[in-house]
Amino acid sequence: MFLLSKLLSHGRQSSAADGRRVAAEAHSEPVRERGGVMPLPKKLAPPLEAAGSRRTPKVLHKVDVHRSFGPVQVVISPECTVGDLMKAVLELYVKEKRRPLLAETDTLCFELHYSQFSLQSLKAEEKLLNLGSRNFFLRPKHRNAANASCSCSYSDEAKAEAKSLFPLAKFVDFLL
């Protein structure tokens, strides 16, 4: 009795599966599965790519900006340089209207570090792929650093805050 019910149920499954397979094969390509050939609808089939047209994947980098709340998250190719990352971070920082507002958005006025505790800055020509990290810290260059091409005025900014009639006004940026 058990064998008879098993044979009947097996016969129903195979005939139903054959009917679906014939209907599906009319408009799909077969894909090799564990149990044999299973049809895959053409809409779900992956597009054929040429071997040379493959692009490098983009990677998420998190960059903390000096005195800012929370990191700026940038999706950029690992083939880009540190200078490209700094430029993308500064553009996104200004676009998102983050606080505190930056006096300068020129990449020459900033330096990128592995962390806020790292003293050595990264070179602008170095590729992100070679760095081995995706978390960085962006801070303005020292005001004592002699850089003729950079017109950063952080010392003037500090003097203006000290002479302000409202000394607590500098904390308003943080509250907004």
For residue 86, what are the CA distances in angstroms to 11, 56, 129, 172?
A: 67, 20, 15, 27
- The answer to whether 127 touches 79, Cβ cutoff 8 Å, is yes
- C-alpha to C-alpha distance for 175 and 44, rounded to whole angstroms: 50
Residue 142 confidence class, pLDDT cut points 50, 70, 90: confident
Does CATH place domain 58-143 in 3.10.20.90? yes
Residue 150: the pLDDT is 60
Query: What value does the mean pLDDT of the chain take?
Result: 75
Q: Once rounded to an integer, what is the mean pLDDT over residues 31-51?
A: 59
* pLDDT at 61 exceeding the cut of 50: yes
Q: What is the pTM of this model?
A: 0.56
pLDDT at res. 111: 96
pLDDT for 56 equals 76
Distance CA 31, CA 16 (A): 19
Pairing between strand 59-65 and 135-140? parallel
The pLDDT assigned to 146 comes to 47
End-to-end CA, the chain = 79
- Structural domain spans, the chain: 2-41, 58-143
- Is the pLDDT score of 143 beyond 70? no
pLDDT (tens digit, 9 = 90+) per residue, 74-123? Answer: 999 999 999 999 999 999 999 999 999 999 999 999 999 999 999 999 99
